[in-house]
Chain A
């Protein structure tokens, strides 16, 4: 507590805010003060107020005014009409909500929409180009890799990342690196076949 000089005094950390902050215990006024000092976006001292969030989804910018609690999954499904990403468990356990952020597969149910600002989000709706299915989508159709289809958007997003990461070299690798996507209908053998087919198509595409 005594040697705050260890940090260089800079914006948001001068002696005045340090003392003010150190003296208090309640959260709200302090965060308000700090928000002003650090100039972070979307900062507000009242948790009941909505926040302004701008998301880059499938190469389009969407400006939303939403509760800070909104997950990216709910922002997609409830606020932008993109219902392709599915809510299975809402707790990071099933993979149905998988999307790509900056090219990496992540779970949109455990990602806050405010945190996803300024990043490139791709959902299942953003895959097809000029009416032509992505090779992974086509492979799922060709290989009959779904029954009810509920897990499928997540499987396809995850499958694309699996191939790009270089984890589709064998059936065992595919099984291991697709294990974050649960299929209640147990279409697993066909999902493996689809990822295998798409891996070939995607590498041909790169070559050709």
Chain B
């Protein structure tokens, strides 16, 4: 790990000030010379690997007093960005009114990591692509823009089939983001000029020509909260992985249904483990919406979700797996007792 200056933030303005001034030449947040530190389970890991090299680390944990609240009113859930994954997963109201959120958190990482990790850091976790994490590989466009992509011809079993580009096929690894995608969450961002709000679906950028730019945040902006309309009592997260616990998704689906007399008045599907960014399967939703719950229809929707899939040598299986995950998640949601 390279030397850095440790700075403990006393309040949001001072944290933002320290972060904002340490810009990256290219305005890419993850390359900025000062990085916020929450749980550190991504940042410290990547600093040890020499993938991230901040000259200053701004500890934002002192802001937890105001930024870790969870509140639920009639039709809005507010989750502070410094709330810890384990605390939100264990919240009985969230389990009851937003089970998909509790599930995505409970099925992620390990109990120790969930005790440490914050919600804000969670959505900004970086890909587990092993060529990205291993700096002995020069050719990684995400790490060294313009250097190529070792995964294209390398071992790409865990890589994405949706939303990729010729420059990068890395998978977005997180689970919680799929719940936020499915439920049309809003991100509250606090920066130098105050607070702005964006749709969660506008937070992550597809890799395109510049996979190093992962989000629409600028240096000096902090996620302060997530706002989620609801409730969505009929919602589930299904995560399929190589082992039963403590593993990233090979394919996963966050599903929420508004079901009345077997008719899907609304259907939400977001996919994990298969896409370059948190992924909403809107084509599939359009097929289901307003229709009677029906197996043939669900098969059609699952096909539509993967119509544009571009698998590579070792991840062809993700297309069939992803479709089955959609189907099973929809069945689970439809049959849950609420």
Same assembly: yes
Q: Mark A170-195, 1 if CB is under 8 A from B, else 0.
A: 00000111011100000000000000
Residue A201, interface by CB 8 Å:
no
On whether A7 and B194 interact (CB within 8 A), knowing A21-B17, A31-B56, A110-B116, the answer reads yes
Please state if B5 and A161 are interface contacts (CB–CB under 8 Å): no
Chain A residue nearest to B18 (CB atoms) is A34
Give the chain B neighbours of A115 by CB distance below 8 A. 37, 40, 59, 61
A98 to chain B, nearest CB (A): 6
Q: Mark A17-33, 1 if CB is under 8 A from B, else 0.
A: 11001101101101100
In the assembled complex, the Cα of A111 lies from the Cα of B21 at a distance in Å of: 26
Residue A13, interface by CB 8 Å:
yes
Count contacts on B: residues with CB < 8 A to the other chain: 49
Give the chain B neighbours of A37 by CB distance below 8 A. 14
Please state if A42 and B17 are interface contacts (CB–CB under 8 Å): no
Give the chain B neighbours of A48 by CB distance below 8 A. 3
- B residues 34-48 touching A (CB-CB < 8 Å): 34, 37, 39-41, 44-45, 48
Question: Which stretch from A55-63, A100-108, A136-144 is at the chain B interface?
Answer: A100-108
Contact of A91 among B12, B18, B48 (CB under 8 A): B48
Please state if A45 and B4 are interface contacts (CB–CB under 8 Å): no
* Secondary structure of the B contact surface, majority rule: mixed
Please state if A179 and B246 are interface contacts (CB–CB under 8 Å): yes
Residue B193, interface by CB 8 Å:
yes
In the assembled complex, the Cα of A175 lies from the Cα of B111 at a distance in Å of: 12
Give the chain B neighbours of A27 by CB distance below 8 A. 5, 21-22, 33-34, 55-56
Please state if A104 and B5 are interface contacts (CB–CB under 8 Å): no
A130 to chain B, nearest CB (A): 29
Residue A132, interface by CB 8 Å:
no
Q: Kindly name the residue among B18, B49, B56 whose own CB sees the greatest number of chain A CB atoms within 10 A.
A: B18
Chain B residue nearest to A157 (CB atoms) is B112
Please state if B111 and A12 are interface contacts (CB–CB under 8 Å): no
B106 to chain A, nearest CB (A): 9
Residue B20, interface by CB 8 Å:
yes
Chain A residue nearest to B84 (CB atoms) is A104
Question: Which stretch from A64-72, A77-85, A121-129, A145-153 is at the chain B interface?
Answer: A64-72
Give the chain A neighbours of B40 by CB distance below 8 A. 110-112, 115
Please state if B20 and A111 are interface contacts (CB–CB under 8 Å): no
Residue A38, interface by CB 8 Å:
yes
Give the chain B neighbours of A67 by CB distance below 8 A. 3
Residue B6, interface by CB 8 Å:
yes
Please state if B21 and A35 are interface contacts (CB–CB under 8 Å): no
Contact of B55 among A11, A28, A162, A176 (CB under 8 A): A28
On whether A1 and B193 interact (CB within 8 A), knowing A30-B18, A31-B18, A92-B113, the answer reads yes
Give the chain B neighbours of A31 by CB distance below 8 A. 5, 7, 18, 22, 34, 56
Give A residues with C-beta under 8 Å from B. Answer: 1-4, 6-7, 10-13, 17-18, 21-22, 24-25, 27-28, 30-31, 34-35, 37-48, 51, 67-69, 71, 90-92, 95, 98, 104-107, 110-112, 114-115, 158, 161-162, 165, 167, 175-177, 179-181
Given contacts A39-B10, A112-B37, 10 further A-B contacts (CB under 8 A): A7-B194, A10-B13, A27-B5, A27-B56, A35-B7, A38-B11, A46-B5, A47-B5, A48-B3, A177-B111
Interchain residue pairs with CB less than 8 A apart (23): A12-B10, A13-B17, A21-B21, A22-B20, A25-B22, A34-B14, A38-B7, A38-B10, A42-B8, A44-B5, A47-B5, A48-B3, A51-B6, A91-B48, A95-B112, A104-B86, A104-B115, A105-B111, A110-B39, A161-B111, A175-B245, A177-B111, A181-B110
